[in-house]
Amino acid sequence: MPKFNPDYSSAILVEGLPVVNSEKFAKLLGVIHKIYSPTCRTFTENDIQMPMNEATNETYGFCFIKFPTKHYAEEAMKNSQGLAIDRRHKFKVSLYSELAKYEAIPDEFIVPPLPPFHPRPDPTSWLSDTKCRDQFVVRYGHDTEIFWANPAGEDPALVYGGEREKGEGKVWCDNYILWSPQGTYLATFHAPGKEKHQNIKSYS
């Protein structure tokens, strides 16, 4: 005999429902059915399981809903997530299959490991240039290049010309460039939908 493997992928859990007594149970059931019936034409009130607290004769504020397939369950979750039926009650919907993931969360908090530290480039390192040079940028055609401005009449020294982007088949700057007010950052502007970069001034 094959092993029974329960599949709850077509069911959802709806939290945030009003807590009602047995007298209002049928009315709330009808409201839930009205909300989810557009998702699946075969959906009926029998597919809604809303547990009652026998001690208080009231619902718990949540229900389980079964759909024919996982596709319907995911559509229902997407369409009703965050739905507010009044000022105090907003739906929080999740797949029933996700409950196993929440049950596996340990009771004791385990501190996650810290990610490796990657120091950022110093945006003011250009100020420590031994020759006290400034940087300037030139744009021509589709090329954008940053140079050191040599004060003694020598030709400018290239700092960065978009080699990283060219190596990846990308364009460093599509439209135009602009220094930040204090010259710390260089913003490159691109056509809509293309990757954007913000480059630190010092490339040395």
pLDDT in tens, 147-189: 999 887 789 999 888 888 888 888 888 888 888 887 778 888 8
pLDDT range class, residue 198, cuts 50, 70, 90: very low
pLDDT at position 6 is: 67
pLDDT at position 1 is: 58
Average pLDDT over residues 6-19: 90
Instruction: Provide the CATH number for the domain around residue 73.
Output: 3.30.70.330
pLDDT range class, residue 51, cuts 50, 70, 90: very high
Cα 158 to the center of its chain, rounded Å: 39
CB 28 within 8 A of CB 18: yes
Q: Flag whether pLDDT at 83 surpasses 70.
A: yes
pLDDT at position 4 is: 56
Same domain, 130 and 80: no
pLDDT range class, residue 19, cuts 50, 70, 90: very high
Q: Flag whether pLDDT at 194 surpasses 60.
A: no
- Give long-range contacts, CB 8 A cutoff, 24+ apart: 135-141: 135/159, 135/201, 135/202, 137/177, 137/179, 137/186, 139/173, 139/176, 139/177
pLDDT range class, residue 132, cuts 50, 70, 90: confident
118 vs 124, more confident: 118
Average pLDDT, the chain: 86
113 found inside a domain: no
Alpha-carbon distance of 47 to 189, in angstroms, equals 54
Same domain, 91 and 58: yes
Q: Flag whether pLDDT at 202 surpasses 80.
A: no
CB 172 within 8 A of CB 183: no
Q: Flag whether pLDDT at 91 surpasses 60.
A: yes
CB 94 within 8 A of CB 36: no
Alpha-carbon distance of 82 to 35, in angstroms, equals 13
191 found inside a domain: yes
Domain that holds residue 80: 11-103
pTM, two decimal places: 0.51
Alpha-carbon distance of 188 to 201, in angstroms, equals 12
Same domain, 138 and 64: no
Question: Helical H runs in the chain?
Answer: 22-36, 70-80, 99-103, 163-167
109 found inside a domain: no
136 found inside a domain: yes
Cα 49 to the center of its chain, rounded Å: 32
Which residue in 85, 127, 92 sits closest to 16, CA to CA? 92
- The structural domain count of the chain equals 2
115 found inside a domain: no
Same domain, 19 and 96: yes
Q: 59-63, 122-126, 192-196: which has the minimum mean pLDDT?
A: 192-196
Same domain, 30 and 78: yes
